[in-house]
Amino acid sequence: MKTSVRGHLPSKPVDVPIEPWWHPQIGCITDDDMKSVTTAERDLIDKLIDSSGADSAGAFDYHCIHSLYRKGLIYLDVPIEKTDCVSVPPLEGFVMNRLMGDYLETLLYKVFVSLDDTTSVQELATLLQIDIEMAQRAVSMFCRLGFAHRKALDYDKLLQHPSWREFYQVPMKRC
């Protein structure tokens, strides 16, 4: 008997700190959804449809991005390039249990413990002898969860919309 996982999922997206370099993507939007959005949110949805995910979140209004995300009308792509380097800050109280035999869990563990701020994702994939796309997806997930941070970002360029500067403190340049 197949059971639906829908009952186990949260009814609204989990609130995550959205980075200005993440790319907002349009989700499944119905006519009823469009009735519940503000004019600014509707305009942003139109822009996202037109740009097809090419722009980063920092190019759009901070409040609208967060509101549409909380309503489940957009999702966020966390793009990781082959040349990107990431850093892992100290994680207090972090525990990662490893079970033997799960390929994905083993892959994630290998990537996570091997991350350092001087090795590119391409070099990491080569070192671990894994597919580059799998390494990119793993690093993307770690960034989405806040366990890793992409380095060498030009935040002045990413924070194109002034609303981001109110809520997002530009970190010191990492490199």
Whether the CB-CB separation of 55 and 157 falls below 8 Å is answered with no
Mean pLDDT of the chain: 85
- Checking if the pLDDT of 123 tops 50, the result is yes
* Confidence category of residue 131, pLDDT binned at 50, 70, 90: very high
The total of structural domains in the chain comes to 2
* Tens of pLDDT, residues 7-20: 777 777 677 789 99
Does residue 127 fall inside a structural domain?
yes
H/E stretch holding 75:
strand 74-77
Q: To 10 degrees, the CA torsion angle through 172, 23, 76, 2?
A: -140
Looking at residue 17, its pLDDT comes to: 85
Distance, in Å, from the CA atom of 137 to the CA atom of 130, rounded to the nearest integer, reads 12
Residues 102 and 146 in one domain: yes
Q: What is the pLDDT of residue 173?
A: 46
> Is the same domain home to 124 and 141?
yes
Tell me the per-residue pLDDT of 67-120, one tens digit each, with 9 for 90 and over: 999 998 999 999 999 999 998 888 777 676 666 667 888 888 889 888 888 999
Say whether both 107 and 132 belong to one domain. yes
Residues 74 and 54 in one domain: yes
Residue 101 lies in a domain: yes
Residues 65 and 113 in one domain: no
- For residue 25, what are the β-bridge partners? 75
Residue 49 lies in a domain: yes
Angle, helix 132-144 to helix 121-128, in steps of 10 degrees:
120
- Domain membership of residue 9 (yes or no) is no
The residue that leads in pLDDT, 91 or 145, is 145
Is position 5 within any domain? no
- pLDDT at 175 (0 to 100): 39
Task: Tell me if 65 is assigned to some domain.
Answer: yes
Q: Where in the sequence is the domain holding 132, given as residue range(s)? A: 86-150
pLDDT, residue 43, reads 94
Within 10 angstroms of residue 164's Cβ, the number of other Cβ atoms is 21
173 in a structural domain = no
Residues 91 and 141 reside in one and the same domain = yes
